[in-house]
Structure 1
C-alpha cells in the first residue's frame, strides 16, 4: 500500500506542478502500512521487519525521484510518526518484563452499567476505550438523581484493584499537577478537559488493554515512552548535521518549518523552533 501511496503522491507532484510555480510547496504524505502490520503482528515480528525494509526501499526511490526533479538542495524532508507501540505481553515477558499482561475491564464496566440501569434505566451509561472512562450522558444521569461523582469514585476504586493497572486519575486533577511528569503531561495533551472523559487509567509498563470478542493486537495509547517515543528526522541543506538527545515534540515541526522558510505564523503555534538543528546562515 505504501508504494501505491507514494506513486500517487509523485503523480500529484507532476500534475499540480509542485515546486515549479515560484513558491515553496508543501507535500504531506501519510504511510499507514506499518501501522496495520505492527498492530496485527507486533513490533518484534518478522512481518514488521519485512515491512520496514520494504518501506525503506520504497521511500528511497520516492525521494530519489524528488531529487532528480528538483535537486537535493531544494528539498527539505521531515520524517516522523504519530505513535509508538507496546509489544505483545508474551514477548515482553520472554524479555524479562514478568508483570506484562493483557488487562480486560469489560466485566467490571458491564457490572457498573447494570447497577446504574437498575437505578436510572437507560442501558449502557459508562463506556471504556483505551484507558479512558467516558460518561457521555452525565447530565442525564445526574437528572435521575444519581450522584455521578460518587459513581466515578467507585469506578476509580474498582479500576485501581485490577491487576496491571498502575494509577487512575481525573483529567481535571491532572491539570493541577506537575507537568514534568511524563504521565501527567501526556494525558493532558491527549485528553482535553471538555472531552467528556471522567477518568484515565494508566497501565503498568508493558501491559496492554484487551477487549472481549476483539482479536488480540499490539496496542498503543498509553502515556509510556514505548507508546509516545517516535523518531523525528529533519534533512536538508539548511539543517545542522547531528543527533540531538533533547526532548522534542511533533508540534515543534510547524514553527521550525516556518523559521526555515522565513514565514511569520499568523497566530501563536504550539511547540518551539528547533534552533539547535538549524545551520547558521552563511
Structure 2
C-alpha cells in the first residue's frame, strides 16, 4: 500500500504495510529458463485463458524488461532476479568460472562440504555458498523470525538453489544427468534427510510415467508461428534419423542418458509442476498469515531451446504445453492458498538468439567462434614473445585468465602482455570489443551501454584479466552448438525477457518503460514491507504495486 506524506511543500512517498496480515500468504517467483520476450506475443493466439494470458490480463506486464549485465547465463540470471543486484556484487559470474586459487573451473553451486540427499551422485553436493549476498527470500525469513517458509524447486540445481537463498528450508532439484536416479534430491546444507513426502514422491514412479512419445499437443498444421518441422538447424537425438516430430522417448532413452531425455523435453516441466503441487500441500505453504516464498524454475524450456532453437516447432510446442502447466499451477494456488491471497511474478534468466545457420540462410550476419583454437593461438603467440608456455590458462565466459605465478617468476611486464593479447583478440573478425579488467574497474557512469553491462557483470576477485565481446548473433563453436542455440551476450535477443506480476497487491496494467531484472527483488520487498536484499541496487517498480 502506498502512503503519501507532505513535508515543506514537497511530496514524498514510502511503501508501508498496515500489518503482516495484509501481505500475500505466498510469494511465487517463476523463472522460465531461456524465455525470449517475443514468446509471449508470438504464441499468444494459441495460449489458453488460464496461463500466460491470465497473468497478462489480470496482472501487470513490463514489456521492456532487460538484463543489465554480461554474461546472460542461467546461474547469474537466477541470482540477479532474487538478489536485486548483478554479478559484480553477488559473485555468480557464470554457470562456471575459473577459480584463480584452485586453477580449475568451479560450478556456481558446487559445495564439497555437504552430503547429497536422495542420491550418491556429486550432483547432490550443492549449496548457495558461492553466492555472496542475500535474496528477498532470505530477508523475508529474517523479517518473520524464520517463521516464513522458503522452498526452491527446479530440474536444474542452480535454478533451485540460488533463488531460494541461504536461509531456505529446502531446495530440491532433479537427479537426471549422467543416467541419474530420476529422484528429486537435495543436500545436507538444508536438512539431515529428505522429508518422507519427497521419498514417497520419488518412489511413486511419476518420473517414469513421462517416458512417452513427444508429439505436438495440437495439430502440427496449426503451429504457424514457427519454422519447418525437420531441418538442419536442429539437434537429432541419438537413435533418430531426423529432427522432426514425433520423438519416441521410451525408444530413445537408453541412448540419451536415461532420465535426461525427459529433462530435454517439455515433460520435464510437467514433472516440475507435479512436484511443486506436492510441496505446496505437504509443506502447507500459504496456510497462515506469515508470508512464505516458493521459487520455481521451469528448466526444460532452456534444454529444448538449446537443442532446437527459437524458430522450431519443438519450442512452440513446449511453450503451449507450459501454458497449460501454468494454468494447472494457478488453479491449484486458487484452491490451496486462496484466490487473491498469493502474489506471482514470472520472468526469465536470459533469452536466446536464432540459430546462426538459420540467420545466415536468411542473409543476417552471424557465426560461430572457436574459443579453444583462439586460446591455443594466444598461447602460441605469447610463447613466441616470452618463451613461456601456457601463460593464458582459461577463456571461459569470454574472459582470458592469465597465469600470474608464471608472469612473476619470469619477470614479464603484465601490461605489455595484456596489450599483446588484446591486440590479438581484436584482430579476429567475429570479436567486436576487447577490454582489460583494469579499464573495466574504472568505467564511469557515463560509459556506453555495453561498457556498463560489462562493469555490472565483472567481479574483481572472480573475473578474468581480459574480457571480449562478439558481434551480434555470434556464440562459441562447439559440437553441441552447431545446431540449436546458446546465450551469453548483452544484445537484445539475450537481455529482453518477460516480466509479469499478478495477484495480491499488484495493479492491472502494462508499461513500455525500461525496467531491469534487478528491480524485481526490491519490488517484492517493498510489497512485503521488508528490508531489501543486502546488496540490492535495483529500484522498486512503484507503478506495479497497488
Q: Calculate the TM-score normalised by the size of structure 1.
A: 0.89
Q: Which residue of 1 aligns with 2:431?
A: 165
Q: Within the alignment, does 1:249 sit opposite 2:516 as a pair?
A: yes
Q: Distance in 1 between matches of 2:437 and 2:359?
A: 29
* Of 370, 395, 418, the match for 1:128: 395
The reply on whether 1:66 has 2:333 as its aligned counterpart is: yes
| 1:243 alignment partner, SS class | strand
2:487 is matched with: 220
- How many pairs align? 276
Equivalent in the alignment of 1:277: 544
* From 502, 519, 527, the counterpart of 1:260: 527
1:152 aligns with 2:393: no
Give the Cα–Cα distance (whole angstroms) in 2 for the partners of residues 145 and 250 of structure 1. 44
Over aligned residue pairs, what C-alpha RMSD do you find? 2.2
Task: Please list the CA deviations of residues 215-247 of structure 1 after superposition, one character each: whole Å capped at 9, or x if unmatched.
Answer: 524121111111111111101142221121122
C-alpha separation in 2, matches of 1:36 and 1:266: 30
2:324 to 23, 40, 57: 57
Deviates more, 1:121-130 or 1:11-20: 121-130
Displacement of 1:250 in angstroms is 2.0
Query: By percentage of residues, which structure has more helix?
Result: 1
Per-residue CA deviation, residues 176-233 of structure 1 (Å, 9 max, x unaligned), is 244563211221222212224112211112222214x555241211111111111111
> Who is 1:42 aligned against?
309
- Where 2:298 maps in the other structure, the secondary structure is coil
Deviation at 1:38, TM superposition (A): 0.8
Structure 2 residue aligned with 1:8? 275
Contact 1:43 1:87 in 2 (8 A): yes
Q: Give 1:70 deviation, angstroms.
A: 2.0
Q: Check the 8 A contact 2:356/2:368 in 1, yes or no.
A: yes
Deviation at 1:67, TM superposition (A): 0.9
SS at match of 2:320: helix
- Quote the Cα distance in structure 1 between the aligned partners of 2:463 and 2:506: 42
Structure 2 CA distance for aligned equivalents of residues 147 and 234 of structure 1: 53
Moved more, 187-196 or 176-185: 176-185
Structure 2, gaps ≥5 residues long: 1-267
- What pairs up with 1:221-236 in 2 under 5 angstroms? 221-236=488-503
1:266, 1:54 → 2: CA distance? 34
Q: Which runs of 5+ in 1 are unaligned?
A: none
Q: What is the distance in 2 between the residues matched to 1:248 and 1:266?
A: 18
Contact 1:172 1:193 in 2 (8 A): no
Q: Tell me, what secondary structure is at the counterpart of 2:510? A: coil
Task: For residue 95 of structure 1, report the CA deviation from its aligned partner.
Answer: 3.9
Structure ranking higher on relative contact order (CA contacts 8 Å, 6+ apart): 2
Distance apart, 1:268 and its partner CA: 5.4
Matched, 1:142 2:386: no
CA contact (8 A) 1:171 1:188 kept: no
Provide the C-alpha distance between the structure 2 equivalents of 1:113 and 1:164, rounded to a whole number of angstroms.
19
